Amino acid sequence: MSGRELPGYLAAVWKRSPGRSDRDYREQSRLRNQWGATYLFAMFSVVVMGLTLSLAAKQWKMVVQREQEADLLAKGIEIQSALEAYSNTIKAGRVMPGEVYPLSLAELTKPPKPFLRKVYKDPFGRWDWEYLRAPNGGIRGVRSRSTATPIKKREFPLAVRHFEGLPRYSDWVFQYPNASLVPVPQAPGGVPTGAVPGSVPPSSNPPTGPT
């Protein structure tokens, strides 16, 4: 075999090594093929690792969201119960009818009879609660400012059963009077109108991912 019988750069290599045998050429080809297979395997491993890390990140994100969601329900229901207890206690010593609301959540934690263990923050963390104010300025409810789509869709605790099917965390309103315990008004013929007295209209913003 001569250098003229080899294609391209192999001919150039052959010319630079006049004493190269067919065995040397076969060994060089084998090494090139082996290197190519190793390179392809390495690239495949990188792709698989990337997909695995991406899946793990999504699963971890879901775990974090579930924890935040459960924390939101627990703290929101506790605030809702504290608002009810506060209003009922204050009303017991008054002659004038009507609900009574605190001007701040901190007011619910004050002795001699605290109704809330501490002032909680929105578990989703980026903002403080959005407060729902009564005409006199008191807080009658709170809700998260997160517009993320909830994971939980049904089987809510009785205190917030009206959360079923709501598309955003910002639609989960923890308030007193409790919208879950207020009878839904009905049109003539016993058909529900869909409006719950004292409830807050859902947010008009489209749902997003976890925020």
Distances (CA, A) of 122 to 85, 115, 154: 21, 18, 21
83 close to 102: Cβ distance less than 8 angstroms: yes
pTM of the model: 0.66
Residues contacting residue 90 through CB under 8 Å, at least 6 positions apart: 100
pLDDT in tens, 59-95: 889 999 999 999 999 999 999 999 999 999 988 877 6
The reported pLDDT for the residue numbered 14 is 47
CA distance 119 to 138: 16
Which single residue is written with the structure tokens 């390495």? 42
The alpha carbon of residue 196 and the mean position of all alpha carbons in its chain are separated, in whole angstroms, by 27
Tokens of 111: 């002795």
| Residue 25 CB neighbour total at 10 angstroms | 16
206 close to 146: Cβ distance less than 8 angstroms: no
| pLDDT tops 70 at residue 29 | yes
| pLDDT tops 60 at residue 195 | no
Q: How much is the CA Rg of the chain, to the nearest whole Å?
A: 34
What order do you get walking across the sheet with 174-175 strand by strand? 130-133, 139-143, 174-175
83 close to 108: Cβ distance less than 8 angstroms: yes
The domain limits of the chain are 69-192
Name the residue with higher pLDDT: 27 or 140. 140
Name the residue with higher pLDDT: 202 or 108. 108
The reported pLDDT for the residue numbered 3 is 43
| pLDDT tops 60 at residue 187 | no
Name the residue with higher pLDDT: 166 or 43. 166
- Span 135-157, average pLDDT: 96
Question: What confidence tier does 25 reach under pLDDT thresholds 50, 70, 90?
Answer: low
